[in-house]
A and B are shown apart, each in its own frame.
Chain A
């Protein structure tokens, strides 16, 4: 009985309670159950089944408002997110400042699998420098580990979930071990033009890494590598890998994938974990707090059944918070545990985001061909100015990468709109000709950069406001430093140079950094708030996410990250969760938990 009721959960006993079912929770539950631990997973949102709920192949005229985004579906109607967004009805958060530049926008998805159902699937590794940023430039914090500690887990996660990418080995942009990655998709024509012209600006362009199956997973080889000596786990994983299809090169990934050709916790982590018989899941279970035993260890958690409003208590040997970085922070603050350092809620980070688009005459009226590919992200530009930066030539301390795209993608509301800047404003036959001419000739560049943790960006509990469950909510404090705003300006300026090198023009002029930078939280890469470290007085957990103050309480989401490299954090969260879970298994076997 994998999906169980609150009443059943109350009766059972578990080795581990995992709060959250996304990248961190999914990986934790997977690793633990495959090795025999009995796990109860609590998810605050509803049960979700991508096999029957994913809108595969629908076009935008089949959606209300042609699929355009609304406050109820911020990424458009077909987006996989359920009961989620920057505003969740009945579950507010507050901001300490009225100034929009000092506010943080908090994205949540209340559904099984969380935001992994809709995410961009970009799966980049942190590099050597990214674990020792303080040592390198004196800013931020070093991690209590190095790249070689996590590299084997990056390999494992990539083999399990399926990641395409190239074998480039650039500065601070490590390659995966041989035989780990799937082949990258062929570049689109706009990708190749960017690659050719970016070279003139000095910007490298290489295959992106994304969690999309460009070929089926090798079910004969991979399970043995992932679960050596564990025949049951190998058999379960081999069977499940055979149920995952390769990409059919159609229908956007953000809708989720009913054929399981990309990574979502619900299609990759949870099915094999459930097949072990060791995983029970309670959905609509909103965790309020971690409970404490008389000896100071974690006893379990209190949660509220979203449907009945009733409060439940469950117990286990180990409690894992993987509720998303800031929801885990909220649970810790509301529990009053694991905070002798005073660092819970401190040093929250998002990714620096700024972008610019343009139109390229060379790409007009090209012979028709299908450009859907793997949705987006066939190529990207990793950060390239490490030496100049270290020499202090840039005015900001950390790097960024470019995600870019173009081509004739599935038409949506914006496809032939706002053409006045190109054609002055036409109608009739001329407008239809213009629409054909310009369609597919646009390119966009999204810079995604590292934010340095600072004393002004943190979350605490709002002294007054509670959510509809009566749980105190988070209050955000936020400030970008000059490092981030200067980086944002550099993103726009450089992207504009690439567009110009392509013979194109930008649709708007590059802006000053404080105008170019997106609001905190908008990129939805929020991490930190319960940092790992070597010193219990200055950090919340050790490198395994094990809380210093409560040895049987672990954190396996983004809360423990000491820095937020420009590499999108999801792959790192999964690698850390796998490593933490191995540690839990080890300590449980040694009866130390």
Chain B
């Protein structure tokens, strides 16, 4: 990272202070700001071409925030016998794209995600003296167990649980839309067929329709 970028991040971090402070967390150089006048992809974007995160608008997450994002995605969607972990299929870049987008929904989500990333690193440091990404699996689980259920979370974790739920939705959306994610979840469509046969007999039997 060059010096100019570093300075930009520092400035961005100070600009982000009001929203972070409202959550009661100490800010650090976390992410560049989304410019107030940042354009979206417009009302007539080219559709028949490949789009990648960072294309329509700049990504903004800082290095540490990306590490935390990757660690948290992979706690939510780890590798198993069906598919790799979320971070292995571009979900970190996707979340960065999402919270860097200039639209109202995404700007709102950014106000949940960025303070949440700060909180989870602070919590990790408080409990185990390391950032979240540097924790071992057991330590990560100890934190995740406290915040994974909005309904069951203790009052002091209520805000963090809302962040976790939002982060889980973004991780799942980012993951299950990829080819490996679609295969894992059981989507077998999007292939041209000569004819559409409807459900096989074994399916109808299972539901009691045959």
Using a CB–CB cutoff of 8 Å, the interface residues on chain A facing chain B are: 46, 52-55, 57-68, 70-73, 77-78, 82-85, 88-89, 185-189, 192-193, 196, 247-251, 255, 362-363, 366-374, 408-418, 420, 424-429, 431-432, 435-436, 439-440
Q: Which of B190-210 contact A (CB under 8 A)?
A: 190-193, 195-200, 202-204, 206-209
Interface contacts beyond A366-B207, A416-B172: sample of 18 additional A-B pairs, CB < 8 Å, sorted by A? A55-B47, A57-B192, A59-B178, A68-B173, A73-B43, A187-B198, A192-B204, A248-B192, A250-B189, A369-B203, A409-B189, A425-B148, A428-B76, A428-B78, A431-B76, A431-B77, A432-B77, A435-B172
A366 touches B165 (CB 8 A): no
> Which listed residue (A61, A363, A373, A427) contacts B144, Cβ 8 A?
A427
A65 touches B98 (CB 8 A): yes
Residues of A within 8 Å of B50, CB to CB, are 62
B190 touches A367 (CB 8 A): no
Residues of B within 8 Å of A68, CB to CB, are 105, 173
A-B contact pairs, 14 of them (CB 8 A): A61-B179, A62-B50, A64-B41, A64-B55, A78-B47, A189-B199, A370-B189, A370-B196, A408-B186, A425-B152, A425-B164, A427-B76, A432-B77, A432-B82
Q: Which residue of A lies closest to B188 (CB)?
A: A370
Mostly, the B contact residues are loop
Q: Which residue of B lies closest to A426 (CB)?
A: B148
B24 CB-CB contact with A under 8 Å: no
> Which listed residue (A52, A70, A368, A417) contacts B105, Cβ 8 A?
A70
A410 touches B190 (CB 8 A): yes
How far, in angstroms, from A415 to B207 measured CA to CA in the complex?
A: 22
Residues of B within 8 Å of A88, CB to CB, are 43
Residues of B within 8 Å of A67, CB to CB, are 177
A418 touches B169 (CB 8 A): yes
How far, in angstroms, from A62 to B190 measured CA to CA in the complex?
A: 14
B17 CB-CB contact with A under 8 Å: no
Q: Which of B146-186 contact A (CB under 8 A)?
A: 148-152, 161, 164-165, 168-169, 172-174, 176-179, 181-182, 184-186
A193 touches B200 (CB 8 A): no
A66 touches B174 (CB 8 A): yes
Residues of B within 8 Å of A416, CB to CB, are 172-173, 176, 185
A412 touches B190 (CB 8 A): no
B209 touches A71 (CB 8 A): no
Residues of A within 8 Å of B191, CB to CB, are 250, 370
Q: Which residue of A lies closest to B202 (CB)?
A: A367
How far, in angstroms, from A527 to B53 measured CA to CA in the complex?
A: 41
Residues of A within 8 Å of B55, CB to CB, are 64
Distance from B154 Cβ to chain A, minimum over Cβ atoms (Å): 14
Q: Which residue of B lies closest to A110 (CB)?
A: B43
B136 CB-CB contact with A under 8 Å: no
Given A70-B40, A70-B105, A250-B189, the answer on whether A429 and B80 have CB atoms closer than 8 Å is: yes
> Which listed residue (A70, A196, A369, A373) contacts B200, Cβ 8 A?
A369
Residues of A within 8 Å of B94, CB to CB, are 61, 66
Mostly, the A contact residues are loop
6 A-B pairs with least C-beta separation: A186-B198, A425-B149, A372-B189, A417-B169, A413-B173, A248-B192
B204 touches A425 (CB 8 A): no
- With most chain B CB atoms within 10 A of its CB, the pick from A370, A372, A411, A414 is A411
How far, in angstroms, from A288 to B152 measured CA to CA in the complex?
A: 60
Given A372-B190, A427-B75, A429-B80, the answer on whether A55 and B48 have CB atoms closer than 8 Å is: yes
Q: Which residue of B lies closest to A252 (CB)?
A: B190
Residues of B within 8 Å of A439, CB to CB, are 176, 185-187
Residues of B within 8 Å of A413, CB to CB, are 169, 173, 177
Residues of B within 8 Å of A65, CB to CB, are 97-98, 101, 106
Residues of B within 8 Å of A57, CB to CB, are 190, 192
Q: Which residue of B lies closest to A435 (CB)?
A: B185
Residues of A within 8 Å of B206, CB to CB, are 366-367
B43 touches A89 (CB 8 A): yes
How far, in angstroms, from A409 to B177 measured CA to CA in the complex?
A: 11
How far, in angstroms, from A189 to B200 measured CA to CA in the complex?
A: 9
B148 touches A436 (CB 8 A): no
Given A85-B43, A410-B182, the answer on whether A424 and B151 have CB atoms closer than 8 Å is: yes
A72 touches B193 (CB 8 A): no
How far, in angstroms, from A412 to B203 measured CA to CA in the complex?
A: 24
Residues of B within 8 Å of A55, CB to CB, are 47-48
Distance from B176 Cβ to chain A, minimum over Cβ atoms (Å): 4
How far, in angstroms, from A83 to B41 measured CA to CA in the complex?
A: 12
A249 touches B40 (CB 8 A): no
B185 touches A415 (CB 8 A): yes
B209 touches A374 (CB 8 A): no
How far, in angstroms, from A367 to B206 measured CA to CA in the complex?
A: 9
Distance from B148 Cβ to chain A, minimum over Cβ atoms (Å): 5
Distance from A589 Cβ to chain B, minimum over Cβ atoms (Å): 42
Given A57-B190, A410-B190, A435-B176, the answer on whether A83 and B204 have CB atoms closer than 8 Å is: no
Distance from A261 Cβ to chain B, minimum over Cβ atoms (Å): 11
> Which listed residue (B80, B178, B196) contacts A432, Cβ 8 A?
B80
Given A73-B43, A410-B190, the answer on whether A436 and B184 have CB atoms closer than 8 Å is: yes
> Which listed residue (B106, B190, B193, B200) contacts A59, Cβ 8 A?
B190
Distance from B113 Cβ to chain A, minimum over Cβ atoms (Å): 14
B182 touches A59 (CB 8 A): yes
Residues of A within 8 Å of B172, CB to CB, are 415-417, 431, 435
B27 CB-CB contact with A under 8 Å: no
Distance from A310 Cβ to chain B, minimum over Cβ atoms (Å): 22
Residues of B within 8 Å of A418, CB to CB, are 169
Distance from A334 Cβ to chain B, minimum over Cβ atoms (Å): 24
> Which listed residue (A251, A372, A415, A420) contacts B149, Cβ 8 A?
A420
Distance from A289 Cβ to chain B, minimum over Cβ atoms (Å): 26
Residues of B within 8 Å of A440, CB to CB, are 186
Interface 1/0 per residue, B123-154 and A, CB below 8 Å: 00000000000000000010010001111100
Distance from B71 Cβ to chain A, minimum over Cβ atoms (Å): 12
> Which listed residue (B75, B165, B177, B207) contacts A412, Cβ 8 A?
B177
A410 touches B204 (CB 8 A): no
